[in-house]
Amino acid sequence: MTHAQSSSSTFDPAAKVFRLDGGRVTYVFGVNSRGELQQLYWGGRLAGSDTFPAAKPMPEWSSFDSSYTTTPQEYAGWGSGLYVEPALKVTFPDGNRDLVLHYESNQPTDGGFDVVLKDIQRPIYVILHYRIDAGSGMLARSATIENRGEGPVTIEQAAAAAWALPPAHYTLNYLTGRWGGEWTLTQEAIAPGSRVIESRRGSTSHQANPWFAIQAGAPDEDHGEVWFGALAWSGSWRITVEQDQLDAVRVTGGFNPFDFGYVLHPGEKLETPVFYGGYSSDGLGGASRLLHRFELEHILPRTAKTAGQTFPRPRPVIYNSWEATEFNVNEAGQMALAEKAAALGVDRFVMDDGWFGQRKNDHAGLGDWYVNPEKFPHGLKPLIDRVHSLGMDFGLWVEPEMVNPDSDLYRAHPDWVLNFPGRPRSEQRNQLVLNLARQDVRDFVFGFLDKLLTENDIAFLKWDYNRNWSEPGWDQLPPEEQKRVYVAFTRNLYGILAELRQKHPNVEIESCSGGGGRVDLGILRYTDEVWPSDNTDPFDRLTQQDGFTYAYTPQIMMAWVTDSPHWLNKRSTSLSYRMLSSMQGSLGIGANIEKWTPEETALAKRLIGEYHKVQATIVQGSLYRLISPRNGSEFSATQTVNADKSQSVVFAFIHSTQEGRGFPRLKLEGLDPAAEYAIRPIEGKARSDTPAQASGAWWMSHGLDMDVDFRGDFQAAAFRLDRK
Ligand code: GLA
């Protein structure tokens, strides 16, 4: 991937045209003759000498399709006969609901512009923020809505941005799923009407993820134009992809307007989330490589130790106790597991649920964040000391935003949960959601976490969130103000995470929500990794990992090796297969390693050693999906290449061979054709006549053949190539 590595943002005051250039991308919009902000171009980088004439609104198609509705506006208010998705919809106290936003002024900012819009009559202002990244050409767009009037205004719908594409045949890619089955890549032709991708659940959700990619024509991994975007918001969100009556496409995303109603008082502002957008001419693979790099460089946090580094450090290889012990944790048991984990070469030991309050199962204890005295009579210190003496650091599970009704916290503060007074409080997993929007709840959550991290030498928190909202009332506020909870809850969550990281600058955090229910570019500004799914079946994980990496870098994709047969599908697989499946991401071990045979222990130890040596290439390199595991494929394969093309790692998996078919020849990608690369197996064998060393051109044009006996069910192989 070569970047132009420069950016510029220019405004032509005569034509009133704004232009942003970065990476291999140009984005252009202008003020049209009516005064609206109109999109003019989004695609491959244009020559500096190319200019655009002033924006002209689309002509009226018919009396039913006015120019207001067919003109691709950058940020349209709902008014003047707009029938497509508005960016902003408001109600004024006098009943007026017409909002027409026209250009006022602009200001250059670091890497872009702030463009000010205002309603044609009333003092509602919208400041649109635009920024382009020099390396990747990724755009960051968001809006600040300001009430400079005398009375309150209710915002019923507020997008971060709207993106527009001209009429053509497109394929929409998006990610859907359920608990235990997140990250299904769904692909469909864009057709007239709207496709709504959303969460109404108060958090990001397992069921849909705030990411999209639109490809011109049919889906293609390696070729063709792709426009993609990701919304940085962990509350209820919505992305609407619509094809209008003239076949133009718009993508509008931001706060979910369902049950939304934010009262903006005089002088108040509402900031929307950021909607990132990118463009690649190298197919879906090119799009995800750009996005991965952008996440690594610009989204993911750094600790004090990694401050200023281009990429965050690769994740420590962890051991996690959940599948081995569930709630049955205690000092002796965890120490025994820690010893086994250390012998495998694990870097971090994480104790999961069960260590606090009266937490014997999922019926009680959430909210009571004291160390359970029966399980840990001397507190956590002896365990943490033992873990340290074994050469690992220590991590702990928490679920800060939740409470079991059977807890001291709930008995003391029944009013702290989301609820409508007098109505039932629906439990899920026997728990209720604390209203984090409340200042007292925010103080409590920050307080106990700060104390935990101050009093104990904890390097890592697994921050869980095991249900979605119901009855989202905030009864401290007057009825018309209560819907603020959709914004205030998530902002307080971000605030707590930011403050904790500032006060404990070396602590790392994982975002977990019963698996992958809270993964988005908003939470990823404050968390170092995520738990993609509670489903750890190594075969299911291949498809999940494939889907996940369309939107997110393998750096954050935690993948544990657990026991066989697997608890979910009852499927039996070899340890080698399980290890290689997890080694595609950030490796962890979550099995009951007390029960492992000496052979299993030795194999895992060897592979963890191999993994450590190539981990940076796997999780931070350029990812090529050579063969997709989707759609019942017999085979799958991925390859990653590091930034200077000195190393590459290849993974090959067999689901189940049929009719004796051999593994397809793998034509590698992204190597330096002129350089020589030596190949070495990490696990498995190449065909016996494979050269020990050959040019990048050989590996890419001739390709790599697997051993002729690489057949059967659930088989795996991995290779590394090193430049000579
Ligand atoms: C969630 C997480 C699991 C585990 C349990 C503990 O389901 O996703 O990994 O931590 O909670 O209760």
Alpha-helical (H) ranges within 504-646 are: 538-551, 575-583, 598-620
Q: Are 182 and 533 in contact (CB under 8 A)?
A: yes
- Whole-number Cα distances in Å, 73 to 37, 282, 327, 450, 683: 6, 27, 53, 46, 54
Residue whose CA is closest, atom 2 of ligand 1? Answer: 514
DSSP letter at 317 equals P
Residue whose CA is closest, atom 7 of ligand 1? Answer: 514
pLDDT at 620: 98
DSSP output for 374-402: TT-TT-SHHHHHHHHHTT-EEEEEE-TTE
pLDDT of residue 197 exceeding 60: yes
Ligand 1 mean position to 323 CA, how many Å? 9
pTM score: 0.98
pLDDT at 576: 98
pLDDT of residue 85 exceeding 50: yes
Band of pLDDT at residue 47, cut at 50, 70 and 90: very high
C-alpha span between 229 and 163 (Å, rounded): 9
DSSP output for 419-463: --TTS----BTTBEEB-TTSHHHHHHHHHHHHHHHHHS---EEEE
pLDDT of residue 3 exceeding 70: no
**Average pLDDT of the segment spanning 678-687:** 98
Which tens digits make up the pLDDT trace of 410-450?
Answer: 999 999 999 999 999 999 999 999 999 999 999 999 999 99
pLDDT of residue 178 exceeding 70: yes
C-alpha span between 57 and 74 (Å, rounded): 12
Ligand 1: list residues with CB < 6 Å: 322, 352-353, 397, 464, 466, 512, 514-515, 531, 534
pLDDT at 257: 98
Residue whose CA is closest, atom 8 of ligand 1? Answer: 514
Ligand 1 mean position to 464 CA, how many Å? 7
Ligand 1 pocket mutation pick from 396, 464, 558 by most atoms within 8 angstroms of CB: 464
Smallest Cα–Cα separation from 641: which of 655, 621, 662? Answer: 621
Q: Which of 133, 282, 534, 540 is catalytic?
A: 534
Residue 389 CB contacts under 8 Å (≥ 6 apart), including other chains: none
The ligand 1 atom nearest the CA atom of 512: 8
pLDDT > 90 fraction of the chain, expressed in percent and rounded:
99
pLDDT of residue 37 exceeding 90: yes
Q: Reduce the DSSP state of residue 576 to 3 states and report it.
A: helix
Ligand 1 mean position to 390 CA, how many Å? 25
Residue whose CA is closest, atom 3 of ligand 1? Answer: 514
pLDDT at 303: 97
C-alpha span between 157 and 256 (Å, rounded): 7
Pairing of strands 170-176, 208-216: antiparallel
Which tens digits make up the pLDDT trace of 356-384?
Answer: 999 999 999 999 999 999 999 999 999 99
C-alpha span between 607 and 176 (Å, rounded): 32
Q: Are 584 and 625 in contact (CB under 8 A)?
A: no
Ligand 1 mean position to 199 CA, how many Å? 21
Ligand 1 pocket mutation pick from 353, 467, 530, 544 by most atoms within 8 angstroms of CB: 353
* Cis status, amide bond into 565, omega within 30 of 0: yes
**Average pLDDT of the segment spanning 235-250:** 97
Provide the β-strand partners of residue 715.
654
DSSP output for 69-100: HHS-BSS-BS-SS--S--SEEEE-TTS-----
Q: Which of 133, 347, 368, 464 is catalytic?
A: 464
Q: Are 135 and 5 in contact (CB under 8 A)?
A: yes
C-alpha span between 597 and 346 (Å, rounded): 17
CA 474 to chain centre: 28
Ligand 1 mean position to 314 CA, how many Å? 23
End-to-end CA distance of the chain: 21
pLDDT at 1: 41
Residue whose CA is closest, atom 1 of ligand 1? Answer: 514
Neighbours of 80 (CB within 10 A): 16
Ligand 1 pocket mutation pick from 356, 534, 560 by most atoms within 8 angstroms of CB: 534
* CB half-sphere exposure, 79, CA atoms < 13 A: 19
Alpha-helical (H) ranges within 554-597 are: 575-583
* Residue type (1 letter), 69: T
Ligand 1 mean position to 103 CA, how many Å? 49
- Whole-number Cα distances in Å, 590 to 317, 329, 350, 423: 11, 14, 10, 41
pLDDT at 5: 73
Ligand 1 mean position to 653 CA, how many Å? 28
The ligand 1 atom nearest the CA atom of 352: 10
Ligand 1 pocket mutation pick from 179, 322, 326, 328 by most atoms within 8 angstroms of CB: 322
Residue whose CA is closest, atom 4 of ligand 1? Answer: 322
pLDDT of residue 2 exceeding 70: no
* Mean pLDDT score across all residues of the chain: 97
The ligand 1 atom nearest the CA atom of 397: 10
Which tens digits make up the pLDDT trace of 317-345?
Answer: 999 999 999 999 999 999 999 999 999 99
pLDDT of residue 466 exceeding 90: yes
Q: Are 526 and 301 in contact (CB under 8 A)?
A: yes
pLDDT at 503: 98
Smallest Cα–Cα separation from 272: which of 153, 439, 157? Answer: 157
Q: Are 208 and 256 in contact (CB under 8 A)?
A: no
Residue whose CA is closest, atom 12 of ligand 1? Answer: 353
The ligand 1 atom nearest the CA atom of 515: 8
**Average pLDDT of the segment spanning 661-689:** 98
220 is catalytic: no
Give the strands of the sheet with 460-463, arranged side by side: 529-530, 508-511, 460-463, 393-398, 348-351, 318-320, 586-589, 558-561
Neighbours of 57 (CB within 10 A): 17
385 is catalytic: no
Residue whose CA is closest, atom 11 of ligand 1? Answer: 514
Ligand 1 pocket mutation pick from 319, 327, 397 by most atoms within 8 angstroms of CB: 397
Smallest Cα–Cα separation from 173: which of 479, 495, 550, 473? Answer: 550
Residue whose CA is closest, atom 9 of ligand 1? Answer: 534
Ligand 1 mean position to 636 CA, how many Å? 29
CA 364 to chain centre: 31
The ligand 1 atom nearest the CA atom of 534: 8
